[in-house]
Amino acid sequence: MHDILIEEGVLAKNDGIAGENREMLRGRGIYSINMVSSPGSGKTSIIEKTAGLLDGLLRLAVIEGDIETDLDAERIRRHGVPAKQITTGRACHLDAHHVHHALPWLFEQDGIRLLIIENVGNMVCPAEYDLGEEMKVAVMSVAEGDDKPLKYPALFSASQALIINKTDLLPYTDFNMHRARENALRINPELKVFETSCTKGTGLQEWCGFLLSSAGAAAKAPVK
């Protein structure tokens, strides 16, 4: 019982900071997404491709979360996209406090309308933590099991979109796309599902169109 109370207190504090983050981002017209997956699903590659396809349409910035190194942030910067690395040490997820401290850096960048937060590779803990984002995006790859949604239901339940990546590897795996979709939609019937390959470029136009539409709709909505 004591452990449950501590966890509830931690999450309540996090949610309070997340609310502040969301209000600050909305106040500056910045749409934000939180990308969550296990390690190696291709989140960074998706962000790189997204940056290219949105170039000239929507200026974006990226907050990168990793336990160590700034390798992913360096990859993003090569595309001319502002990127802020957060190293969490032994922590297996980003929390709202991490993001809050990165916001002054973000607000110094010119004309940002989309913030992509790439969370630490982990399908468990990040699902519990609101960072102040407008949309949580789950990412999985066909190199993983098609039963991932059933094993990690909290993430898929909390997400508004699912990207199933590395579809070019389908011929070399026993991944069943129909079953993966079915499992994900069983957990969350409202999920918008995208099948992508960063190698072949498939599905990425649809994903970016969805992002543009979501960010545009948010910009027109009254600030609450």
Per-residue model confidence (pLDDT) at position 9:
76
pLDDT in tens, 10-19: 889 999 999 9
* pLDDT-based confidence at residue 216 (cuts at 50, 70, 90): confident
Tokens 């796309």, residue located? 177
Contact predicate 152/158, CB 8 Å: no
Query: What's the whole-number mean pLDDT along residues 146-174?
Result: 97
Share the mean pLDDT of the chain. 93
pLDDT in tens, 41-54: 999 999 999 999 99
Q: Is 38 exposed, middle or buried (0-12, 13-18, 19+ CB in 10 A)?
A: middle
CATH architecture under which domain 2-220 falls: 3-Layer(aba) Sandwich (3.40)
Which residue did the predictor score with more confidence, 145 or 223?
145
